[in-house]
Amino acid sequence: MSTEYNPRELLICVAARLMEDGTTAFIGTGIPMLAAALAQKLHAPNLVTVFEFGGTGAILEELPLAVGEERTFHRALSATGICDTMETAQRGFIEYGFLGGAQIDPYGNLNSTVIGDHARPKARLPGSGGANDVGSHCWRTIAIMQHDARRFVPKVDFITTPGYLTGPGAREAAGLPPGTGPYRVVSSLALMGFDDETKRMKLLAVHPGVTVEQVIQNTGFELLLADRIEETPPPTDEELRLLREEIDPHHLYI
C-alpha cells in the first residue's frame, strides 16, 4: 500500500508527469512551480523554467512566493524582463504554459477577470496577468483547476485567456499562432485532454478513488469520454518524499 497523500500533492504529481525533459515551461506561482521543481528532480532535469518577469532557467532550490522574486532567477541562466519572456513565447520558443482560473469551458477558455457582468461584476477577479499571453503563445497549455460544476461551465462569464474559443479553426481565424492551444486540464478529480476534431474537453483519466460518474456530475457541460479511461497512478513514495522533504519542507503549499 502506498503512502497517504493529500489532493494538492496529487495535483502536483500529475502536472509534473506531463512535463518533458529538455524543453521550456512558462511557470506561475503555486502548483506549476512545485510541479516543475518535482519534474526537474525526477524525469526532467533539463526542464527550463521561464518566469514572466524575466527569470529563465532558475534552479528551484527554494520556492518563490511571487513570479518576480529573487528565487525565480536563483542561479538562473538569464535574468531579463517581461518583454523578453513574452516575446520569446511569441516567437515560439516556449513549449508549455500553465494556467488557472475561476471558470473553464468545454473549449478550455478560461476566466480570471469577472464573475457576472463586466460593467457591474458580482465579483471582480485579478484579471489576465500573464495568462492571456501564455494562452496565446505557448504551444501547449495545461490548466490546473478545482473540479466542480461552478468552475467547469458551459460558457465562461468572460474569456480572459483563449482556449479553442468557439471550436475548430477559431484560434487561427482570430489570428492566434497556428498549432497552439489547450493540451491538458489537471483537476482535483481527473485528467482531461481535448478532442482533435471537435476541440472539446475529453476525459482521459480519473484520479484514484474517483469514478467517471463523479467527474461527469461535477462538470457543468457534456464531457467527451476517451475510449478507454485510465486511472491516474497515485503519487509514488519517491514523489512524495521529494515534495515533502526537498521541495516544500516548510509546507507553504502542500
Partner 1 sequence: MHVVESGIGPLIQPPDMNAFREWNRKHKTKALVDKLMSEQEAVARFMFDGAYIGTELYGTVRCPMSLIREVIRQGYKDLRVAGQGVMELDILLATGRVRALDITYIGNEVYGISANLRREVESGRVQQVVEWSNGGITWRFKAAAMGVPFIPVRSMLGTDTLKYSAAKVVECPFTGEKVALLPALILDVGFIHVHRADRYGNCQIDGIAGFAVEMARACKRLIVSAEEIIPTDEIRKRPDRTAIPYYLVDAVVHAPFGSHPGEMCYVYRRDEELIREWVKEMEQPDTAQAYLQKYVYGPKNHDEYMDLIGRDRLESLRYRKGGER
Q: How far is the CB of 231 from partner 1 (least distance, A)?
A: 31
Distance CA 143, CA 187 (A): 8
Cell numbers at 42, concatenated = 525526477
Any contact of residue 124 with partner 1 (CB under 8 A)?
A: yes
Selected from 26, 139, 158, 194, the binder of partner 1 by CB under 8 A is: 158
Q: How far is the CB of 129 from partner 1 (least distance, A)?
A: 4
Output 162 or 220, the one with its CB closest to partner 1: 162
Cell numbers at 140, concatenated = 501547449
Which 19-58 residues touch partner 1, going by CB under 8 A?
Answer: 29-30, 52-55
Catalytic site residue 52?
A: yes
Selected from 20, 62, 148, 195, the binder of partner 1 by CB under 8 A is: 62
* H/E stretch holding 212: helix 212-217
Output 68 or 168, the one with its CB closest to partner 1: 68
* H/E stretch holding 49: strand 48-50
Query: Could you tell me which stretch among 40-48, 70-78, 193-201, 218-226 binds partner 1 (CB under 8 A)?
Result: 70-78
Selected from 23, 41, 59, 82, the binder of partner 1 by CB under 8 A is: 82
Any contact of residue 122 with partner 1 (CB under 8 A)?
A: yes
Any contact of residue 209 with partner 1 (CB under 8 A)?
A: no
Contact status, residue 165 vs residue 200, Cβ threshold 8 Å? no
**Catalytic: which of 4, 9, 20, 52?**
52
Cell numbers at 147, concatenated = 473540479
Q: Give the residue among 169, 168, 170 at the shortest CA–CA distance from 159.
A: 170
Distance CA 186, CA 10 (A): 10
Selected from 39, 159, 201, 215, the binder of partner 1 by CB under 8 A is: 159
**Dihedral in degrees, nearest 10, Cα atoms 234, 154, 117, 150:** -40
The catalytic residue positions are 52
